[in-house]
């Protein structure tokens, strides 16, 4: 394997043209699309039009004339095929955390007799934080139990009132078997909420086929919606009727502008809305989703496997004695869209890579994380990143960064 | 009073220059800034820079390099002087409804022995909706009681666990005496959350001086933050330490990037954050606030009084027999930043005015609402709007709109 072989793979890649849908800075190898997705080329001009024309000239009438009122739903409908859902099952609103709170609150309220709420220790902790605050709100009624990854799904049993799980581990990239775990939960009578933030747009998802009833996810990673872009809620059509919102706001009212004294929820997925959506950030999501036009999730999966396997192979071949230990599963079906290595100086190495314009992440305590966004990462990028890493290790350039304090970039 | 006199008032107006801070469409008289504030001139270019340069070129590193991480707090600090608060007491996050839920949930959780939650009937209902959902979450522990406006604050007594009130009535423009009601509530041992959405940026507020502990508000009306721009939470410095968040997310963690298993809140106003903020919409808020540079709230109040009195006088003089009944209090201290009239054909009249490029609102069942945004409304605009209304009534042009179904524009 050499760089020319990587160029050949890129020429033959059926997704090669998708890179042109993004603006990427010259000379930067961007392996952090799992933290903030790259900028779609169509976004800036449309948001400028939104501001100057729709807001500036159309003013309040643009809520109808420019379809601002219907963006949450139309954008949700556009996300649906990427996660294996149907139109009417997804709506964009609020943050992932707030959406998790909404679903968990409604599910716990209708729970009967079971005390235990189960979450996973060591995965992205905001799911745990949300459940912790919510369980506190219910007083003595529930307990929160944290289970290690190896105990999932065994720790979920007939005593469990609710579980919420993040699909892909943010450190290792290990991916849960969503179909199997969902089936286990349902057999135990346990509702499960999936957090798709680290998987949607990067790995094939089949929520309907896997029997998933509830999920949330963010749009600013692989969905390229922009910094802090609003998140989404998925609810299977079969679950919508029974859902009684607990965080209840006027955007979820069956007659929003009737201004009735009492709350009466919409009968559709709109019942998951709360307040007025941030229209600038919401509209940017559309352009992120549009970057998937004509792309199959199988095509994404094929390219992801090829890129990930290449990085694993190059690090094994060219950095065999440098102390990198693969933290990500080797089996494509068991991993998400990132390749992580453990290294005792992972933080210093990540800084040295960034100094060479290879943008990767460090995650404490010892994880060096390469996010793989198949729409715009090329095989030559993987080659060049591995090459940069080899030079940094050979020249011990990482040592210059050993004393820096870690920075708080997600 | 004639149009020339209005022009003279505008020439002498100390806030006249502020209109230049906004982009307003030619030929439109915009009396709906209480629904969606006008576009500040600085917004579009800065958001374009944010998208093209900070996101497109800086990518994930802009969270630090472009201060995205600190926008929620710095924007809150900029709002603080407009509401009579201090730096460190205000933070921008989520929607008004979600913020109301956050504060009310935390306050109810620590409530002891009292069952009644009091809200106002007939004001903007989202406060009521939020409390209704939240009370439902607590099971049998609390009841929600709706009180008529005339019963406020009398209905708030030693049985009350919590109340939440909207400062200005969205239909009539009547404004509560926040200082007096807050004192009453505190004398009864009742925490009170104020919704400032319809008053901040339009009337003088002195939250610190009035002893207010908790408030929320939106930024897309008189604060000109743009459609659905994120809202804010105010918490008096003296109340922050005792506040235990109930909606708990990673942006509120004392060590956000330590990824600890358990939630440990920040000790500052950041404890009111939850998830990742929508950066495009959040940054637009800064430019809305900057439109108040060098303006005193007393200056705003003086101009608001002058404009509102003028509109009331012109409608009384020129439309005496047309069936308009003033719904807004005549005393400036008792009203917010809008003038409302009841009329049996208010909806048709509002549509006829919009057809003449006078943008006003209808609110069911019979309210014609003129929002007065003192930063950009002129006396001649008020004159011209009254003139258009007189022509519409004289020519019975409103009759063409009688059969339209009301549209859902806020």
Dist CA B132 CA A375 (whole Å)? 45
C-alpha closest to that of B393 among B360, B332, B361, B345: B345
pLDDT of B410? 42
CB count within 10 Å of CB B138 equals: 18
The answer, yes or no, to whether residue A407 has pLDDT greater than 60, is no
**Pairing verdict, β A361-363 and A367-371:** antiparallel
Position A1 confidence tier, pLDDT thresholds 50, 70, 90:
confident
- Which chain A residue has the Cα nearest residue B280? A281
Q: What is the mean pLDDT of chain B?
A: 96
Tell me, letter by letter, the H, E, C secondary structure of B53-106: HHHCCCHHHHHHHCCHHHHHHHHHHHHHHHHCCCCCCEEECCCHHHHHHHHHHH
CA end-to-end span of chain A? 33
ipTM of the complex: 0.96
Distances (CA, A) of B99 to A196, A274, A282, B95, B284: 25, 11, 19, 6, 19
| Helix count and strand count (H, E) for chain A | 12, 15
**Pairing verdict, β A192-195 and A160-166:** parallel
Compute the count of residue pairs across chains A and B with CB atoms less than 8 Å apart. 310
Q: Are A325 and A133 in contact (CB under 8 A)?
A: no
The answer, yes or no, to whether residue B358 has pLDDT greater than 80, is yes
Question: What is the per-residue DSSP string for A338-403?
Answer: EEEEE-TTHHHHHHHHHHTTEE-EEETTTEEEEE--TTT--HHHHHHHHHHHHHHHHTTGGGGGTT
pLDDT tens-digit map of B39-86:
999 999 999 999 999 999 999 999 999 999 999 999 999 999 999 999
Token pair for B321 = 């027999």
pLDDT tens-digit map of B280-294:
999 999 999 999 999
Q: Are B51 and B280 in contact (CB under 8 A)?
A: yes
Query: Do you know the residue count of chain A?
Result: 410
The answer, yes or no, to whether residue A12 has pLDDT greater than 50, is yes
pLDDT of B407? 54
Q: Write down the pTM of the prediction.
A: 0.96
Helix axis angle, B279-290 to B71-83, nearest 10°: 30
Token pair for A374 = 């198949």
Dist CA B312 CA B386 (whole Å)? 9
Chain A CB contacts of B97 below 8 Å: 247, 249-251, 274-275
pLDDT of A410? 43
pLDDT tens-digit map of B29-39:
999 999 999 99
Q: Are B288 and B229 in contact (CB under 8 A)?
A: yes
The answer, yes or no, to whether residue A51 has pLDDT greater than 90, is yes
Distance from CA of B39 to the nearest CA of A (A): 5
pLDDT tens-digit map of A85-141:
999 999 999 999 999 999 999 999 999 999 999 999 999 898 999 999 999 999 999
Chain A CB contacts of B62 below 8 Å: 227
Maximum Cα–Cα distance across chain B: 70
Q: Do B94 and A95 touch (CB under 8 A)?
A: yes
Closest partner residue to B261 (CB to CB) among A109, A121, A134 is A121
pLDDT tens-digit map of A149-202:
999 999 999 999 999 999 999 999 999 999 999 999 999 999 999 999 999 999
Chain A CB contacts of B282 below 8 Å: 228, 278, 281
**Pairing verdict, β A338-342 and A358-359:** unpaired
> Where do the domains of chain A lie, and which CATH numbers do they carry?
3-30+296-401 (3.90.1150.10), 46-290 (3.40.640.10)
CB count within 10 Å of CB A403 equals: 7
**Pairing verdict, β A90-92 and A232-235:** antiparallel
Mean of the pLDDT values across residues A7-22?
97
C-alpha closest to that of B263 among B272, B277, B276, B250: B250
């Amino acid at each position: 394997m050499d760089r020319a072989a990587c160029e050949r793979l890129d020429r033959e890649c059926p997704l090669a043209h998708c890179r042109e849908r993004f603006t990427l800075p010259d000379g930067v190898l961007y392996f952090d699309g799992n933290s903030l997705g790259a900028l779609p080329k169509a976004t800036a001009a449309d948001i400028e039009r939104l501001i100057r024309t729709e807001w500036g000239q159309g003013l309040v009438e643009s809520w109808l004339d420019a379809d601002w009122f219907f963006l949450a739903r139309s954008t949700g409908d556009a996300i649906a095929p990427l996660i294996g859902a149907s139109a009417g099952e997804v709506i964009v609103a609020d943050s992932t955390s707030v959406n998790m709170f909404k679903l968990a609150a409604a599910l716990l309220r209708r729970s009967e007799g079971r005390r235990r709420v189960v979450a996973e220790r060591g995965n992205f902790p905001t799911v745990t934080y949300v459940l912790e605050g919510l369980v506190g709100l219910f007083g003595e009624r529930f307990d929160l139990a944290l289970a290690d990854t190896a105990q999932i799904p065994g720790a979920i049993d007939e005593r469990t009132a609710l579980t919420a799980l993040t699909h892909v581990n943010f450190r290792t990239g290990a991916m849960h078997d969503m179909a199997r775990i969902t089936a286990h939960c349902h057999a135990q009578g346990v509702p499960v909420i999936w957090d798709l933030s680290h998987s949607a747009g990067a790995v094939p998802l089949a929520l309907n086929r896997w029997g998933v009833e509830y999920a949330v996810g963010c749009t600013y990673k692989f969905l390229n919606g922009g910094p802090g872009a609003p998140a989404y809620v998925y609810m299977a059509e079969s679950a919508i009727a029974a859902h009684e919102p607990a965080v209840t706001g006027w955007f979820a009212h069956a007659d929003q502008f009737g201004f009735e004294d009492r709350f009466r929820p919409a009968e559709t997925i709109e019942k998951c809305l709360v307040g007025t959506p941030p229209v600038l950030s919401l509209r940017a999501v559309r352009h992120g989703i549009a970057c998937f036009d004509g792309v199959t999730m199988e095509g994404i999966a094929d390219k992801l496997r090829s890129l990930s396997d290449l990085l694993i192979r190059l690090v094994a071949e060219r950095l065999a004695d440098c102390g990198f230990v693969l933290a990500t599963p080797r089996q494509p079906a068991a991993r998400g869209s990132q390749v992580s290595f453990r290294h005792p100086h992972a933080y210093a190495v990540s800084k040295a890579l960034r100094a060479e314009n290879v943008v990767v992440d460090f995650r404490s305590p010892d994880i060096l994380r390469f996010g793989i966004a198949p729409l715009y990462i090329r095989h030559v990028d993987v080659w060049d990143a591995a090459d940069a890493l080899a030079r940094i290790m050979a020249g011990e350039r990482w040592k210059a960064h050993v004393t820096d304090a870690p920075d708080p970039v997600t």
